[in-house]
Amino acid sequence: MKQVTEQEIPSWDRCLPHVLVVEQDSDYGHMLVAELQDRSIRAKHIQTVDAFLDLNCRERVDLVSLEIDAMDPNTLDNIKLLRTHFGEGPGTRIVATSSFLPGAFPFLVEQRGADRCMAKPREPEVMAAALETELRKQMKSKEKGWANKLGSRE
């Protein structure tokens, strides 16, 4: 990753956003983190929600990219755990991603607290671009003070 100076970050208002990538596929997770870092976005990869919660991490996270699996009975609970951990205020946006999105599953995911549910692209650079777009929405929402409020989900 190239070194970024303070003057090179005008689009993020001198505050590097932070993305937490929860991805079971370690290779994909590391490639996605590298892509985000190339876009001047701080990113950290962790394989499971439980591993993240076990760290008892209290650092600021602007966006969580959460890989979900419709076949995993803990998926909906994991979303709820993250939403409880980060709260409902204008803090953290949760984007659930999946290679498999059957029927009403995206609706259920959003009902549990995800701000968005989207198909997971195979290419990490495509995913990084989508997350950057979501992050920009989140940062703009924070400026206006209405992120994660009822009715602000898109």
**Pick the residue with more confidence: 15 or 127?**
127
User: Is residue 152 situated within a structural domain?
Assistant: no
User: Is residue 149 situated within a structural domain?
Assistant: no
Residue 101 makes CB contacts below 8 A (sequence gap 6+) with 70, 117, 119
> Residue 116 above 70 pLDDT?
yes
User: Is residue 7 situated within a structural domain?
Assistant: no
Q: Are 127 and 120 in contact (CB under 8 A)?
A: yes
Structure confidence by residue, pLDDT tens digits, 87-104:
765 578 899 998 877 677
Total of domains in the chain: 1
Query: What residues make up the domain containing 119?
Result: 16-143
Distance (Å, whole) CA 85 – CA 101? 25
Percent of the chain beyond pLDDT 90?
A: 31
Give one word for 57, left, alpha or beta, with left for phi > 0 and alpha for psi -120 to 50: beta
Q: Are 152 and 146 in contact (CB under 8 A)?
A: yes
| Region 20-38 average pLDDT | 95
Q: With a threshold of 0.75, does the pTM exceed it? A: yes
Identify the CATH number of the domain in which residue 125 sits. Answer: 3.40.50.2300
